[in-house]
Homo-oligomer: A and B are copies of this chain.
């Protein structure tokens, strides 16, 4: 759920196995929004809050906690209202002993073994998301590599290669080999006389041989050159072990028609390029680290029901959901509201029509994630897949292997499915949690027959049923962004919004943090200016 354009997964779900339309959809996706780096360049600090000024922050997710942390440092009196009994919002990890009740009332008890976990929300942090990485450094959150591309992971289409999964390395080497051979043929035939000079032609042919492992004549054939890239049929050994043997290539036509080349793009998108990280121990280690920094500022179990403002301040009404409290109010000079628009649009909020319309303009993505515990790490022991992701055209979309404890002998937890948007996501969310797990097992066993024997227990989160978000993240259409984004970002009286939905990095934690930094910077300037004017 932490992706900007959603290009990779959207395409993975929508395109694969289909015979047409990819190009059009791709163009639509790239036009939709930017898959950019953070524009955060380093140190962030506000100072010299107006004397006695107070800010009420709504929501203790990463946006809210960033705002609270920085505003208090600047000298503001800060309070935070949070719906849940703990901080983090979508920065969330499920572990053994956790109990989760979704909208509709279904409760699940997580029965993972000690030390194993599953992140229902964000699960990776690109190296260029500087703001979140800098907070991790400052707050002592340890990071480890997230394996995005695993050359030995599986690519699977039910409609290609008789449903037999192929290895990423085979698809990559053969796609590159085939196109390099085709381009070489064309260059040699002189078909490219005009665009390429004679000198460049030789260099081009040389580079294609090296890059793709072509032979002397620039053909991509079964050879040491191709097997050095796609893997050998019989591996080299020591002493008098069997001689190594080269491997057969995937047929060019079958590969082109399979659509499996689509998955080669994912790890080359800047959002998923190396180095990319995960916190050691689960994504909510970040939430916990932030929460420690703002200890004492947060009122938990506080469900906001009304946001009022006038020229002298903000009044927020909330319910104490522990049962003991009833309805209460909190007042402050200013308010930073980080509630998801899916929630905020259901509340009565005193803001002008432009912001009100913006709040209502952004639908929230459906997606579902399933965590599956198995009795042993068969993907490592049997398949030699250590971390990373396998892809399939089945609704589960992908299987994510744990990027930690490599080679350990105990149980293991997989991401058994990440059903990303579209009809599949709605269908998975509509199912009972038990059915989601069952479906993930059925579909995943096409890639890993060991599923049937080794399954232990599972847990499933459908984001439209998550009580504190009613959806996964704000899905901005191009039109909505043009019409409403600017209005959503304004200071409306004494209120400003923040969160991934108020950023050009939707669904990413970096978007939430940068949005908060931008919002409080502007609010701070505004507050100081008002004080000076007063």
Which of B262, B406, B514, B522 sits near A210, CB closer than 8 Å? B262
Please state if B151 and A516 are interface contacts (CB–CB under 8 Å): no
Which of B210, B275, B511 sits near A22, CB closer than 8 Å? B210
- The CA of A30 and the CA of B215, in the complex, are separated in Å by 10
Which of B195, B234, B262 sits near A185, CB closer than 8 Å? B195
Q: Which listed segment binds B: A87-95, A115-123, A198-206?
A: A198-206
Q: Which of A510-531 contact B (CB under 8 A)?
A: 511-519, 522
Q: Residue A229 at the B interface, CB < 8 A?
A: yes
- The CA of A498 and the CA of B486, in the complex, are separated in Å by 70
Please state if A236 and B388 are interface contacts (CB–CB under 8 Å): no
Please state if A152 and B128 are interface contacts (CB–CB under 8 Å): yes
- The CA of A271 and the CA of B244, in the complex, are separated in Å by 14
**Binary contact track A488-500/B, C-beta < 8 Å → 1, others 0:** 0100000000100
Residues of B within 8 A of A144 (CB): 144-145, 406
Residues of B within 8 A of A277 (CB): 386, 406
- The CA of A489 and the CA of B238, in the complex, are separated in Å by 9
Which of B192, B223, B231, B238 sits near A186, CB closer than 8 Å? B192
- Among A147, A210, A265, the most chain B Cβ lie within 10 Å of the Cβ of A210
Which of B26, B197, B224, B242 sits near A39, CB closer than 8 Å? B242
What is the minimal beta-carbon distance from A458 to any residue of chain B, in angstroms?
25
Closest to A209 in B: B23
Please state if B228 and A269 are interface contacts (CB–CB under 8 Å): yes
Q: Which of A173-213 contact B (CB under 8 A)?
A: 173, 175-176, 179-180, 182-183, 185-187, 189, 191-192, 195-197, 199-200, 203-211, 213
Q: Residue A232 at the B interface, CB < 8 A?
A: yes
- The CA of A240 and the CA of B384, in the complex, are separated in Å by 46
What is the minimal beta-carbon distance from A138 to any residue of chain B, in angstroms?
9
- The CA of A191 and the CA of B210, in the complex, are separated in Å by 23
What is the minimal beta-carbon distance from A309 to any residue of chain B, in angstroms?
19
Residues of B within 8 A of A407 (CB): 133, 136-137, 143
Please state if B409 and A137 are interface contacts (CB–CB under 8 Å): yes
- The CA of A481 and the CA of B423, in the complex, are separated in Å by 59
Please state if B505 and A34 are interface contacts (CB–CB under 8 Å): no
A-B contact pairs, 28 of them (CB 8 A): A26-B209, A34-B236, A36-B232, A36-B237, A36-B244, A38-B236, A38-B237, A127-B152, A128-B231, A136-B407, A137-B407, A137-B409, A144-B145, A147-B274, A151-B270, A182-B192, A185-B195, A229-B268, A229-B270, A232-B270, A237-B514, A238-B512, A238-B519, A239-B489, A240-B522, A243-B504, A274-B387, A274-B388
What residues make up the interface of A, taking CB atoms closer than 8 Å to B?
Answer: 4-5, 7, 11, 22-23, 26-27, 30-31, 33-40, 127-128, 130, 133, 136-137, 143-145, 147, 149-152, 169, 172-173, 175-176, 179-180, 182-183, 185-187, 189, 191-192, 195-197, 199-200, 203-211, 213, 215-216, 223-225, 227-232, 234-244, 252-253, 256-257, 261-262, 264-265, 268-271, 273-275, 277, 384, 386-388, 403, 406-409, 486, 489, 498, 502-505, 511-519, 522
